[in-house]
A and B are shown apart, each in its own frame.
Chain A
């Protein structure tokens, strides 16, 4: 079974802190994604990566950065956390860079609260 794991299920951070969310997949997938999910807004794409050290902005990249140093690991970084970044963060992975037919596999999510 494909497994996507995220470093924490719940995280509480203070405003202004630097926050790292880690995601690891074990299926040698090329694509990896970071989404956030908020009530009434659904899932929104923050960043994605189609290869090591490659990244593309999603729909809402402001306030976030990402790092992909190894194929299996994709990190989301909040340089200076703010209360409006309180959300559920979901990581996903999929095969192949240019295929729309391959499904994405999601991790369980990290519920981040910024106080």
Chain B
């Protein structure tokens, strides 16, 4: 299975944009890039996913490098409620959409 690498932790000030990086140098052509986050004492929550093109939704944007070996989750204006662990995960139809979670990036947001 293709693996992802993320920084263990990041900090941001409230109201500022946050760029969370993810490296996936062994990604295959059919792997989707998913992002989930887990707020304290809650189950993981879907954030966004993409295959090749950049994606936007109400929660975030996903920027995918042209060679697809890395991606960046962008929170446009961080709030205290965005403090969570963010997971970058690759999925493939061959694995029946199973998610393999790494240790993710713990995002701290301060006033």
Contact = CB atoms under 8 A, between A and B. Distances in A.
Interface string B64-98: 00000000000000000000000100011101111
Interface string B33-64: 01010000011111001010000000000000
Interface residues of B, number: 26
A18 to B, nearest CB: 25
Instruction: Give the interface SS of chain B, mostly helix, strand, loop or mixed.
Output: loop
B25 interface: no
Interface string A46-65: 00101000001011000000
B99 A45 contact: yes
B98 A48 contact: yes
Interface residues of A, number: 31
B7 interface: no
Nearest to A48: B98
B43 A109 contact: yes
A14 to B, nearest CB: 25
Interface of A: 4, 31, 33, 35, 40, 42-45, 48, 50, 56, 58-59, 90, 92, 94, 96-109
